[in-house]
């Protein structure tokens, strides 16, 4: 219930945090105040706000998000010839399969470690009661994530078939997310492979 979360886990209220942040009028939407629909945001508002975004990248597929972002913006966003060349080099040398493990100039993919303990290896390592609580707290977020992931994979297929005309999302990038995202009732590799490729 709404009043049961008053301490916000000493940080923020976790219920549908992504979707609440997407539609909140607050600058820092950590709590429920100012969020229409409180912990279960209205889907139509969430969907409309998501559709108004010009670009959304994926944490799980950060490298591919970056390839898509650079390809879309290269000709219009980067005015310096040097930056345009760096972006072209990144697209040519890094946006390939298999993904290179080398740094491409100053355009390497950064990694930020937020805490010393690192991350658990899979969501499935959590207990069933914890997974059930997560499911209760993320119903609207999960719906948005599934829609986003379908859209994102369609854009990647577009990049691979119409844009760069080569594979960017490699099998070894998809495989680690199979188990991690299986709790959503989807198979990310199947989603990717089922998207029609224009010939």
Average pLDDT per block of 10 residues along the chain, 199 residues long: 49 84 80 64 94 95 95 80 88 92 59 55 77 91 97 97 95 91 91 89
Per-residue confidence (pLDDT) for residue 119, from 0 to 100: 58
Taking the model in full, what pTM does it have?
Answer: 0.82
The span from the CA of 145 to the CA of 58, in Å, is 10
The whole-number pLDDT of residue 83 equals: 86
Helix (H) or strand (E) holding 65: helix 62-77
pLDDT of residue 199: 62
Give me 188's structure tokens.
């990310």
| DSSP-assigned letters across all residues of 87-128 | HHHHHHHTSSSSPP-S--TT-PPP----STT---S-GGGS-H
State how far the alpha carbon of 4 is from the alpha carbons of 9, 20, 64, in Å.
11, 18, 40
Inter-helix orientation angle 139-158/43-52, to 10°: 30
DSSP single-letter state for residue 167: -
Q: What is the reported pLDDT for 48? A: 97
What is the pLDDT, as a whole number, of residue 8? 56
pLDDT of residue 84: 86
């Amino acid at each position: 219930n709404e009043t049961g979360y008053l301490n916000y886990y000493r940080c923020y209220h976790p219920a549908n945090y992504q979707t609440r942040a997407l539609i909140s009028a607050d600058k820092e939407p950590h709590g429920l105040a100012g969020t229409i629909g409180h912990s279960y945001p209205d889907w139509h508002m969430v969907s409309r706000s998501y559709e108004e975004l010009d670009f959304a990248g994926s944490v799980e597929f950060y490298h591919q998000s970056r390839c898509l972002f650079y390809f879309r913006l290269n000709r219009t966003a980067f005015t310096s010839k040097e930056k345009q060349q760096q972006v072209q080099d990144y697209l040519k040398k890094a946006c390939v399969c298999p993904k290179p493990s080398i740094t491409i100039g100053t355009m390497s993919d950064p990694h930020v470690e937020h805490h010393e303990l690192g991350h658990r290896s899979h969501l499935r390592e959590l207990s069933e009661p914890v997974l059930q609580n997560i499911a209760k707290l993320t119903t609207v977020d999960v719906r948005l994530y599934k829609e986003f992931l379908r859209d994102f994979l369609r854009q990647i297929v577009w990049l691979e078939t119409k844009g760069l005309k080569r594979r960017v999302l490699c099998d070894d990038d998809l495989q680690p997310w199979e188990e991690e995202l299986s709790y959503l009732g989807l198979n990310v590799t199947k989603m990717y492979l089922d998207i029609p490729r224009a010939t």
